[in-house]
Amino acid sequence: MDSNIFFKKKNIKLKQLFPTQKSTTNFKVKDIKPLHLAEKDEITFFDSTKYKNQAIKTKASACITTNKLAKYLPKNLEKIVVLNVLYELARITKLIYPTADIDYPDLLLRKPRKTSYNKVKFGNNVLIGKNVSIGKNSIIGSNSIIESNVEIGKECIIGSNVILKNSLVGNNVVIQDNCKIGQKGFGFIPLNKKNIKFPHIGKVRINNDVEIASGCTIDRGSIDDTVIGSNTYLDNQVHVAHNVQIDSNCMIAGQVGFAGSTKIGKNVSIGGQAGISGHLNIGNNVKIGGGSGVIKDIEDNKIVMGYPAVSLKEFLKIHKKNNE
Amino acid sequence: MDSNIFFKKKNIKLKQLFPTQKSTTNFKVKDIKPLHLAEKDEITFFDSTKYKNQAIKTKASACITTNKLAKYLPKNLEKIVVLNVLYELARITKLIYPTADIDYPDLLLRKPRKTSYNKVKFGNNVLIGKNVSIGKNSIIGSNSIIESNVEIGKECIIGSNVILKNSLVGNNVVIQDNCKIGQKGFGFIPLNKKNIKFPHIGKVRINNDVEIASGCTIDRGSIDDTVIGSNTYLDNQVHVAHNVQIDSNCMIAGQVGFAGSTKIGKNVSIGGQAGISGHLNIGNNVKIGGGSGVIKDIEDNKIVMGYPAVSLKEFLKIHKKNNE
Amino acid sequence: MDSNIFFKKKNIKLKQLFPTQKSTTNFKVKDIKPLHLAEKDEITFFDSTKYKNQAIKTKASACITTNKLAKYLPKNLEKIVVLNVLYELARITKLIYPTADIDYPDLLLRKPRKTSYNKVKFGNNVLIGKNVSIGKNSIIGSNSIIESNVEIGKECIIGSNVILKNSLVGNNVVIQDNCKIGQKGFGFIPLNKKNIKFPHIGKVRINNDVEIASGCTIDRGSIDDTVIGSNTYLDNQVHVAHNVQIDSNCMIAGQVGFAGSTKIGKNVSIGGQAGISGHLNIGNNVKIGGGSGVIKDIEDNKIVMGYPAVSLKEFLKIHKKNNE
């Protein structure tokens, strides 16, 4: 079985992907994965010292990287040294997963068959793709679209006008009206006249007991997954970019935005309209004030506020100074 | 008739709700209301000195409160003294209104009958619940959903893809495409593994001559109502949380967010992307600059800007100082 | 043929529009246009010295303006001197285009006929207005609405739940789920009890190779058009107000908001949640940091950040000072 249930995969060998590289090995590429998840016969990529600790331990069979970074990688691994890692990654991902670079609408939708979902309640005009599984006692509101291969657990309440694609949803999850989950995120290699669209082959995983309010957008992962941890609650109009991983028991207020690949710990609360930059690590039990702009990592248990966000103590000091 | 037309109510007596309390009276609970609206045989709650003036005058028959606050309440009223007011309020609201804690999709929708709405124009695929009233000369755009018991006045223009629930809409109101109005707001009592969802039994009241642009979300009230005053205009992607009450003739620009229970006066103008914290009182004729973060009350006629928002004069002084 | 394909126009003569003006000429008004686009037999308006250079060269046959500004206009042009230019403009636009002041839902929608669109793929429940053209190999997702007279180029991917009206879309454009494009913007003349709604008779032009992510709202132009330049990419939940013109190859991150009539140059990148005030000119190759609030023009090649946005150098200086 293919490891990716959402995107059609082509069987291509390593040397076909990189015909000009002097690679010593060759294998049929099973998948493309991040450093810490890649296994035998899979390709990974390594483009920043930030991920050095993961690079050292990767189990991938080949890795796209730069001349500078190659030394951190294990010896028994094919190093594909290139000038632009993300460009090469986009290029081969497009070859292996040709339809993941654009959000092609699912054209296999149909009305749900009573026989396939006999313990699920549906509103009017619900559209369901192929191989969709929905757990018992779940309810799907009117005009909602569940695209092919999506999995929804039991006791879930999905509102009206919701679109779910490329997603795995746990049990007892509430998703309110008008949420759009699993679409392709904002990823491309800028070119002057016509950008190269980065194929996003990841998915969205929504764990048990999550509640997502109206009008949220949650993009699927690019190579890794986007994750909403169990018992985490999102208010209206929250934007979650690709690869963001929010851990359990978090409280995210309205209109908060997360840029790509940021990781949020457990029990984090974030006030309305705060923005979290990309590729950050936010610790456990952190509190971020409403309207803040977070541009660097935050350790466990900190309270921060402001733009750029600083500790609450510092924030109050600055504003006291301003008012003198 | 039940006072709440949107949620099914159970008939429960006070002593059944609080079996361990030594209450001196008992009565069939008619409803749960905020301090200033509660009447005989209704329960209210009082959890902050901020609402002391309303507590003194409440006409409720019982009030959930704390040991410290109980003294402010009238004598002829059953005081239910608890450790966590909101937790107890959530618990009994769930007992009285068992379906208000989750946005269950309306499963009684159907195509509008010509005979019931002979002076209303409908686009395609409109879905209407039970007991919906729509005034003459109103137009409802395609794919819109009007859930059971919603009331819409005359001469209203409702766009396409709109969802209206738990709402009373006045006359001559314009609601553009994709607005979601009346859904449950962001309310729960945090627990480590599975939050208690706070039932929201209020509604949204939209007064005459309001215009709401595309993609806004307006949550219904929790115990009180959410209100948009007459002739108030909202631009695209505005987020209005539960219990917010905006008075008449206000101008709210795009992507503004209101946290819960804040009150906005008349003739207030708010620039794009500004955020207003919860439980604030903003006076009449106030002007709030775009992008501001308002975190305290504002008196009538003030002009404020910045994060945190300060008077325009102060804001200019700070930025002059910064540039020295 | 009428120059405006989206709004029904009434044939009215100049003197009927301004019966109390002592106008020396009279003509059947062909259209209402901005200063730089107006031609013979068209009316324009001039209300700020900011547009002086365009006023000097206008080819309109009549111009609504003030006593102070009239002197900048060409001699051979009927000057309609009034106290409130925008009020008079709104009044006559409503007379000439009576249905442009409210987003009336298109009531002529139907399922697309195979014969009219034989090289286009449609999802389920797509609704199409009259005279819609869609280029070959384009795909339209389920539940999407394409209102009358919209033009979509070839090789376009339109997601599900999209609403397109008053819009011209180029080739190879991707518009993801739930975008609302072409609706009326936020325009009215404030009155105490019932605002005068400003009719918006412009459209949205989306050039080739544009990608627009989920949940964006793009308002049509008021008198001019709203434009998204070729190869420009918008992330989720971006808000583009009326008359905004974004040039080519721009990168706009999630939840950015543009107020009305602002112009953005080529190759501009804007970080998440930034807000750009109205009527500004942002140069080419400008970089605007996430969360910034831009309130004045920016020259070519500048990097700015903060609220209000200043040069990156200044921003770092201020924050170093704050931390001392």
Residues of A in contact with C307 (CB under 8 A): 307
Mutate: best of A106, A236, A307, partner C, most C CBs <10 A: A307
Contact B171, B154 (CB under 8 A): yes
Residues in chain B: 324
Dihedral (C-alpha) B117, B118, B121, B126: value to the nearest 10 degrees?
Answer: 40
The answer to whether A250 and A283 have CB atoms below 8 angstroms apart is no
Residues of C with CB under 8 A from a CB of A: 121, 123-125, 139-143, 157-161, 174, 176-178, 209, 211, 213-215, 230-231, 233, 235-237, 249, 251, 253-255, 272-273, 290-291, 306-307, 319, 322-323
**Residue C138: what pLDDT?**
98
| Mean pLDDT on C107-134 | 95
Using alpha carbons, list the distances in angstroms from residue B144 to A5, B117, B176, C164, C217: 33, 15, 11, 16, 18
Residue at C121: amino acid letter: K
What region, left, alpha or beta, does residue C301 occupy, with left being phi > 0 and alpha being psi -120 to 50 degrees?
Answer: left
Smallest Cβ distance to C275: which of B141, B214, B290? B290
Average pLDDT, chain C: 95
SS3 of residue B34 by DSSP: coil
Structure tokens at C184: 């009326």
Residue B214 and residue C273: Cβ atoms within 8 Å?
no
Q: What are phi and psi of C57, to 5 degrees?
A: -105, 5
Distance, CA of C206 to CA of C164 (rounded, Å): 11
Which residues in chain B have Cβ-Cβ distances shorter than 8 Å to A125?
Answer: 125, 127
Give the model's pLDDT for residue C151: 98
Q: What is the mean pLDDT of residues C297-311?
A: 95
CA distance B201 to B192: 25
* Percent of chain A surpassing pLDDT 70: 99
pLDDT at B310: 93
**Which of the residues B138, B142, B251, B252 would you substitute to probe the C interface, choosing the one with the greatest number of C C-beta atoms within 10 Å?**
B142
Determine the length of chain A: 324
Q: Which long-range contacts (CB under 8 A, 24 or more apart) does C271-279 make?
A: C272/A239, C272/A257, C272/A259, C272/A275, C272/A277, C272/C235, C273/A257, C273/A273, C273/A275, C273/A293, C273/B273, C274/C309, C275/B255, C275/B272, C275/B273, C275/B290, C275/B291, C277/B272, C277/B290, C278/C241, C279/C50
Name B210's Cβ contacts closer than 8 Å, sequence gap at least 6: B170, B173, B174, B228, B229, B230, B231, B232, B233, B234
Other C-beta atoms lying within 10 Å of the C-beta of residue A149: 20
Mean pLDDT of C293-318: 94
Flag whether pLDDT at A18 surpasses 80.
Answer: yes
| CA distance to A200, A241, B264, per residue, from A222 (Å) | 4, 10, 42
pLDDT in tens, C194-224: 899 999 999 999 999 999 999 999 999 999 9
How does pLDDT run across A166-221, given as a tens digit for each residue? Answer: 999 999 999 999 999 999 999 999 887 889 999 999 999 999 999 999 999 999 99
Report ipTM (2 d.p.).
0.95
Q: Which residues of B touch C186 (CB under 8 A)?
A: 213, 233, 235-236, 253-254
At which residue do the structure tokens 């002097």 appear? Answer: A22
Chain A residue numbers with beta carbons less than 8 Å from the beta carbon of B321 are: 322
pTM for the structure as a whole? 0.96
- Do A183 and C176 lie within an 8 Å CB cutoff? yes
CA separation (Å) from C47 to B13, C14, C35, C64, C166?
66, 19, 11, 8, 26
pLDDT by residue, tens only, chain B of 324 residues: 457 999 999 999 999 999 988 878 899 999 999 999 999 999 999 999 999 999 999 999 999 999 999 999 999 999 999 999 999 999 999 999 999 999 999 999 999 998 889 899 999 999 999 999 999 999 999 999 999 999 999 999 999 999 999 999 999 999 999 999 999 999 999 887 889 999 999 999 999 999 999 999 999 999 999 999 999 999 999 999 999 999 999 999 999 999 999 999 999 999 999 999 999 999 999 999 999 999 999 999 999 999 999 999 998 888 777 766
User: Three-class SS of residue B89?
Assistant: helix
Tokens of A234: 């999102």
The confidence score (pLDDT) of residue A1 equals 47
Q: Which domains does chain A have, with CATH numbers?
A: 14-96 (3.40.1390.10), 121-319 (2.160.10.10)
User: For residue B324, what pLDDT is reported?
Assistant: 64
Q: Compute the average pLDDT of residues A244-269.
A: 98
How many angstroms away from the CA of A41 is the closest CA of chain B?
A: 39
User: How far, in Å, are A132, A210, B32, B89 from residue A136 at the CA level?
Assistant: 13, 17, 33, 31
- In the predicted structure, residue A323 carries a pLDDT above the cut 80: no
Nearest Cβ partner of A275 from C125, C233, C272? C272
> Contacts from B314-322 at CB under 8 Å and sequence distance 24+?
B314/A323, B315/B289, B318/A322, B318/A323, B319/C308, B321/A322, B322/C318, B322/C321
Tokens of C15: 């003197």
Hey, how many other C-beta atoms are within 10 angstroms of the C-beta on B136?
12
Residue B265 · residue B300 · CB < 8 Å: yes
Among B41, B75, B73, B85, which Cα is nearest to B60's? Answer: B41
Residue of A nearest to C141 (CA): A105
Region A300-321 average pLDDT:
90
Tell me the C-alpha to C-alpha distance, in Å, between residue B48 and each of B136, B203, B226, B277.
44, 23, 20, 17
Burial-class residue A174 by CB neighbours within 10 Å (0-12, 13-18, 19+). buried
B221 DSSP 8-state letter = P
Task: Give the full edge-to-edge strand order of the sheet including B303-305.
Answer: B121-122, B139-140, B157-158, B174-175, B211-212, B233-234, B251-252, B269-270, B287-288, B303-305, B310-311
Q: Position B56: which residue type?
A: I
Could you tell me the two tokens for B283?
């006076």
Note whether A192 contacts C251, CB cutoff 8 Å. Answer: no
What is the model's pLDDT at position B121?
Answer: 97
User: Concatenated DSSP letters for B150-178?
Assistant: -EE-TT-EE-TT-EE-SEEE-SS-EE-TT
Interval C35-80: pLDDT, tens? 999 999 999 999 999 999 999 999 999 999 999 999 999 999 999 9
| Whether pLDDT at A75 is above 90 | yes
The CB density around residue C88, as the number of other CB atoms within 10 Å, is 21
Length, in residues, of chain C = 324
Q: Which residues of C are catalytic?
A: 242
Is the pLDDT at C85 greater than 70? The verdict is yes
Greatest mean pLDDT among A251-255, C189-193, C320-324 lies in A251-255
Q: What is the DSSP letter of B110?
A: B
Nearest to C86 by CA among C48, C53, C112, C52: C48
Here the tokens at position A201 are 């082959």
Q: Which pLDDT score, from 0 to 100, does residue A118 have? A: 86
Task: Quote the tokens at residue C73.
Answer: 């206009």
- pLDDT at position B318: 83
What was the pLDDT predicted at C1? 47
* Cα atoms in the Cβ-side hemisphere of radius 13 Å centred on A285: 4
Per residue in A242-273, is it b (16+ CB within 10 Å) or e — as a string?
bbbbbbbbbbbbbbbbbbbbbbbbbbbbbbbb
- How confident is the prediction for chain A on average, in pLDDT? 95
Give per-residue pLDDT as tens, B166-221.
999 999 999 999 999 999 999 999 887 889 999 999 999 999 999 999 999 999 99
Distance, first Cα to last Cα, chain B: 67
Whether pLDDT at C192 is above 80: no
Is A185 in Cβ contact with C177 (below 8 Å)?
no
Among residues of chain C, what percentage have pLDDT more than 90? 90
One-letter-per-residue 3-state SS of chain C:
CCCCCCCCCCCCEHHHHCCCCCCCCCCECCEECCCCCCCCCEEEEECCHHHHHHHHCCCCCEEEECCCCHHHCCCCCEEEECCCHHHHHHHHHHHHCCCCCCCCCCCCCECCCCCCCCCCEECCCCEECCCCEECCCCEECCCCEECCCCEECCCCEECCCCEECCEEECCCCEECCCCEECCCCCCEECCCCCCEECCCCCCEEECCCCEECCCCEECCCCCCCEEECCCCEECCCCEECCCCEECCCCEECCCCEECCCCEECCCCEECCCCEECCCCEECCCCEECCCCEECCCECCCCEEECCCCEEHHHHHHHHHHHCC
